[in-house]
Structure 1
Amino acid sequence: MEPSSRPTGHRTVDRRDGPYGEVVLRERSGPDGEIHEIIANGCFLMDTSDGRSERRLLDAAYEALDGRPSPSVLIGGLGVGFSLARAAAEPAWSRIAVVEREQAIIEWHMSGPLRRISDAALADPRTVILHTDLVDHVHNASDTYDALCLDIDNGPDWTVTEGNGNLYSPDGLAACARRLTPGGVLAVWSAKPSADFEESLRNAGFSGVRTEEIRVARGVPDVVHLAVRPA
């Protein structure tokens, strides 16, 4: 979710004050058209310049399921929509749930500039958008999924808001495990690898813990942390 280059020539498209602070949609010119960025409380989250690591988050989780028939997936964070669009492009997913706590981001996809990325995926009958906080959802929901693909921070060591830190704690990882079916996959996006988080996953009882690097245009690899709930 780090920017691909130093910001220049930005235009603010929309700015909202919500229950979690300020969220801003910005626009800048890129070599292939307009690039949109999401900023939360002054922290850059993601932009539409690349998207390969957000797509890989879904692909890596699906591959780790090793051919499980008709799997379901929960995507944590709608963001700019790359992960949702990738999920909808895979016909094997039987159910695609997306948790997004910012109403502004949902609206930017439903009727704003980000619709160009997510329009087809939002129209897919498998897709449901849950307007709620991801931490609350993993703790309090009753639904289970075959994969959890989480991308709400710049990584386990760099959270957007303080409350998100619970997600990567022993309590939060135990809640994630409860949302997974036996043998289900937890995939967590990060701007950099975290050996401490890998250890936390193992201590929480996950197996097959590994970190996959994804090379992106700016040259500094993003990563996906992967772990499996034992069957």
Structure 2
Amino acid sequence: MSVPPVESAGAVLPSRRDPAEPEVLDRRESAGGEVVLRRRGGHCEVIVNGCFLMDTVDGRSERLLVAAALDGLAAVARPSVLIGGLGVGFSLAHAAAEPRWSRIAVVEREAAIIDWHRTGPLGAFSAGALDDPRVEVLHTDLVAYLAGAGERYDALCLDIDNGPDWTVGAENDRLYGPAGLASAAARLNSGGVLAVWGAQPSAAFELALREAGFTGVRTEEVPVERGVPDVVHLARRA
């Protein structure tokens, strides 16, 4: 095992992380607990019940969530999409920048996050997408919304919590189980695409998708600076 060199006293060392202390911009209480918006350096981050949930450092996998779903709908001239989770806005902004989408619905249960996009710092990352006439923001719980009766979509792009295997809120586990996947399938048009963001690869979730009747199950990875890659799980309603 190599031993790092000992730096001399008083030496100025290169920073291995952003030295800026996080600044709390807003703090709200909701039905799901405490939601906090912080700024660290030039980026924003969202903390839920004391657990880090998302930030604005790197939105590649969130954009891939939408782009990969659209690629799977080449035969549909003007597809519709439901984005589950407004988050920091990367997925929505990417969808709004694509004229092929005829209708873009976004489900977000935290009123604070919607406010931070409409009048707060997160508006810079959703890039005015909430004003797009194709966009409808639904302030509700995604699991409950999918389980109810309603219109169908050509694509569901779901980015809830940290993905199938690592949820901050136990209630979100339902989305990735048999009942949640059945509800998702019921809200897709025939041949529609389900895209699910995850913080790590999950063979167990791929199996769950196949057992729920989805076809063409595959996973695309996005390498990150440290640790396991972010992923997008893709599947199609038969």
Fold similarity call, TM over 0.5 = yes
Unaligned runs of 5+ in 1: none
Task: Write out aligned runs for 1:88-107 (5 A).
Answer: 88-107=96-115
Task: State the superposition RMSD in angstroms.
Answer: 1.4
Q: Secondary structure at the match of 1:149?
A: strand
Asked which structure has the greater RCO (Cα within 8 Å, sep 6+), the reply is: 1
Which residue pairs with 1:21 in the alignment?
A: 33
Question: Is the Cα–Cα contact under 8 Å of residues 89 and 126 in structure 2 kept in the other structure?
Answer: yes
Moved over 4 A (4+): 5-8
What displacement does 1:75 show? 0.3
Task: Write out aligned runs for 1:129-148 (5 A).
Answer: 129-148=137-156
Question: Is the Cα–Cα contact under 8 Å of residues 147 and 180 in structure 1 kept in the other structure?
Answer: yes
Corresponding residue pairs, total = 222
Per the normalisation by structure 1, the TM-score is 0.93
Q: CA separation of 1:44/1:7 partners in 2, compared to 1, >3 Å: closer, same or farther?
A: farther
Per the normalisation by structure 2, the TM-score is 0.90
Which residue pairs with 1:164 in the alignment?
A: 172
Q: Deviations over 1:41-88 (max 9, x none)?
A: 112111111111101100011111124110000000000000000000
Alignment counterpart, residue 47 of structure 1, candidates 42, 55, 70? 55
Q: Deviations over 1:2-37 (max 9, x none)?
A: xxx6785101100111000010000011xxxx2000
Instruction: Provide the rounded CA distance (Å) in 2 between the counterparts of 1:82 and 1:40.
Output: 19
Q: CA separation of 1:7/1:220 partners in 2, compared to 1, >3 Å: closer, same or farther?
A: farther
Task: Write out aligned runs for 1:182-201 (5 A).
Answer: 182-201=190-209
Question: Is the Cα–Cα contact under 8 Å of residues 109 and 119 in structure 1 kept in the other structure?
Answer: no
Matched, 1:151 2:163: no
What displacement does 1:126 show? 0.2
Question: Is the Cα–Cα contact under 8 Å of residues 53 and 216 in structure 1 kept in the other structure?
Answer: no
Unaligned runs of 5+ in 2: 1-16
Q: Secondary structure at the match of 1:83?
A: helix
Which residue pairs with 2:23 in the alignment?
A: 11
Question: Is the Cα–Cα contact under 8 Å of residues 152 and 160 in structure 1 kept in the other structure?
Answer: no
Q: Secondary structure at the match of 2:121?
A: coil
Q: Secondary structure at the match of 1:192?
A: coil
Which residue pairs with 1:86 in the alignment?
A: 94
Q: In the alignment, residue 85 of structure 2 is paired with which amino acid?
A: G
Which residue pairs with 2:9 in the alignment?
A: none
What displacement does 1:120 show? 2.1
Instruction: Provide the rounded CA distance (Å) in 1 between the counterparts of 2:20 and 2:153.
Output: 41
